[in-house]
Amino acid sequence: MPFMEFVNFYLMPGIVLGSIYALGAVGITLVFGILRFAHLAHGDLATLGAFAALGVVTIFGVSPWVALPVAMIVCAIMAIGIDKVFYDYLSERPKIIVVMSSLGIALMLRAVVQVIWGVDTETYTRGIVRPEDYWGIRIRDREIYTIIAMFVIVGVLWAFLQKTKWGKAMRAMSDNPDLALLSGVDNRKITMLTWGIVGILCAASGFFLGINTELKPLMGWTMLLPMFAAAILGGVGRVEGAVIGGLIVGIAEETSVLFIPGEYKAAMAFAILLLILLVRPTGLLKGKVL
Amino acid sequence: MTSQAIAEQPMSKNSAQQKYSGKPILTMTGVRGGYGDADILQGVDMQVTEQEIVVIVGPNGAGKSTAMKAIFGLLKVRGGSIVVNGTDIAGWKPNRIVQHGVCYVPQVNNIFREMTIHENLEMGAFLRKGDISESLERVYTLFPDLKERRNALAGNLSGGQRQMVAMGRALMLDPTLLLLDEPTAGLSPKYMEQIFEITRNLRDAGLSILLVEQHAKQALAFADKGYVLAAGSNRHEGTGQELLADREVAEMFLGG
């Protein structure tokens, strides 16, 4: 197989898919690192984000790119609200109860999407977009935007965590919660801030999955395992690890069809997850939580 | 007044104030409390006045660290009062107590391991608004080792340097009262001496310090005052030298 064929048909789609996974995995790793539980409603929150953008597109007839910021705000408010009503209420209980409740939230979110938008497959825009050719690399504009958007969003988040007072407080809360409280950091504010950011990341990952493929009520749920695999692969609690993990899982899924039947593509995430837990449970970059 | 006389006399806020003339910073009176439903502290009285080092010594399980946590609002106080700078802070949450000028350095887990030394100090000043460069400079002057390695991750430092980061973090809010829970535990004699020297310098610079210390003899040697706790209540009280000279204290609590 010529090298360019590998790049165009396996590597580039892998990087695009990996970018979408990375956006979700960063959110998972934040919830894990700061709030200390596995957030199973993550995928369905992404579904909600994708459909919220669709709602804006159909109602106002605007471009999907205009709808993305709206979807981010909707998801951020939704995530903060879910935390206020459910997770915060359970915060004194064992973490496994919060994890199970997030599974319930996942089903509720999916039901809401199905009630409002139905169970059919939808798209943001009609018609086929042909890839452009850039020095032999065939790629669609929306795919370029997906990759760039992922690096920009994660880059902004990274700068926020490294440089700002509240970003540092989030890292402090993830590092040593007791000492953060002793330093006067308000637990409630950090929790709300975290959920706001997680909502934004979820909306982005759902939106980019939707714009590159199609919108289905199950779209987020099927992304949940690859996103968790990416977060664990990168080292739970590590933002940069989640990006690397997401890209690896995405590329592995897309290139796996070279060796195994396409129906088993989805099993790649599971295989990677198993392997990393066996060989290096702390992840590629040493995780802070597991 | 001899130490025997103090031990025989029932402790009260007034007697403590008469003996030590400085302005009281912390006055604990009959403090009871503990974790869950059990009272570990069975009525503890203590006073720290302006610009002095007060050491709490006593056997394991005497309630030394517990007394410190009670001051800092980390456990339930069921009786008595904890007056700091004229206000009873019993039952307050730690973040409010921090703003009231009390800072606490826990014995373990007292740094942010994944953050740099500089960021640890910045987190210490989290509640402060505006410029913190003066406080940073003061802490770096106090701990020159830290300034050199300001961008190193705190988790990669030696035990002694970690303790300096922990103390530096607590000093960033310019507290009037500093609570140190066994700052020299597990440190080499060299670092222990260094931490003690810094503690003395902080006092000379105007800070009041309450210190729980396993190295009781060394600490009492420079302490302005000491309390011996046993089974959750006061057993002895006196200046550091008085306690060191007291035969009963020496035999029972300082290992002969």
Compare CB distances from A185 to B104, B114, B126 and report the shortest one's residue. B126
Any domain includes B126: no
Shortest distance, CA A270 to any CA of chain B (angstroms): 30
- Chain B: closest CA distance from residue A178 (Å): 8
Calpha distance A222→A220 (Å, rounded): 5
A289 confidence band (pLDDT: 50, 70, 90)? low
A-chain residues within 8 Å CB-CB of B111? Answer: 176, 179
Look at strands B53-57 and A137-139 and give their pairing: unpaired
User: Does A271 contact B at CB distance below 8 Å?
Assistant: no
**Number of structural domains in chain B:** 1
Provide the residue count of chain A: 290
CA B228 to chain centroid: 14
Instruction: Report yes or no on B174 lying in a domain.
Output: no
CB contact (8 A) between residue A168 and residue B94: no
- B5 SS3 class: helix
The pLDDT value recorded for residue B21 is 60
Which pLDDT value is given to residue A102? 94
* Three-state DSSP state, B55: strand
Which of A175, A189, A240 would best serve as a mutation to test chain B binding (most B beta carbons within 10 A)?
Answer: A175
For residue B33, is it within any domain? yes
CATH number of domain containing B241? 3.40.50.300
Q: Is residue A129 part of a domain?
A: no
What average pLDDT does range A224-228 have in this prediction?
A: 94
Q: Chain B: nearest CA to A290, how far in angstroms?
A: 15
pLDDT, tens only, A5-59:
887 888 899 999 999 999 999 999 999 999 989 999 999 999 999 999 999 999 9
pLDDT at B13 over 50: no
- pTM, two decimal places: 0.85
Interface test with A, best of B99, B126, B131, B171 (most A CBs within 10 A): B126
Number of folded domains in chain A? 1
Closest CB from B99, B110, B112 relative to A184: B99
Residues of B in contact with A176 (CB under 8 A): 109, 111-113
In which domain, by residue range, is A250 found? 13-124+139-279
Check if the beta carbon of residue B164 is closer than 8 Å to that of residue B148. Answer: no
The model's confidence at residue A81, banded by pLDDT at 50, 70 and 90, is very high
Instruction: For B16-65, write each residue's pLDDT tens digit.
Output: 444 446 789 999 988 888 887 788 888 889 999 999 999 998 888 888 88
CA gap A76, A82 in Å, rounded: 10
Which residue of A176, A184, A186 is in closest CB contact with B112? A176
List the single residue in B99, B114, B127 with the smallest CB-CB distance to A171.
B114
Chain B nearest-CA residue for A186? B95
Looking at residue A170, which CATH number applies to its domain?
Answer: 1.10.3470
Identify whether B9 is part of a domain: no
> Would A131 be classed as within a structural domain?
no
- Percent pLDDT > 90 in chain B is 44
Distance CA B147, CA B127 (A): 22
Q: Is residue A285 part of a domain?
A: no
- Helices A12-30 and A219-234: crossing angle in degrees, nearest 10, is 80
Enclosing domain of residue B82: 22-91+211-255
Chain A residues close to B115, C-beta within 8 Å: 168, 171-172, 175
Residue B7 placed within a domain: no
Asked if residue B183 is part of any domain, the answer here is: no
List CB contacts (< 8 A) between A182 and chain B.
Answer: 72, 94-95, 98, 104, 106
Q: Average pLDDT, whole number, for chain A?
A: 90
Under a CB-based contact definition with an 8 Å cutoff, are residues A172 and A34 in contact? Answer: no
List all residues of chain A from 158 to 217 with a beta carbon under 8 Å from chain B: 165, 168-169, 171-172, 174-176, 178-186
Would you state the pLDDT for residue B255?
Answer: 64
Are A182 and B104 within 8 A, CB to CB? yes
For residue A143 the two structure tokens come to 């795919």
Q: Does B172 fall in a domain?
A: no
Asked if residue B87 is part of any domain, the answer here is yes
In a domain, A78, yes or no: yes
Place of tokens 């990669």: B156
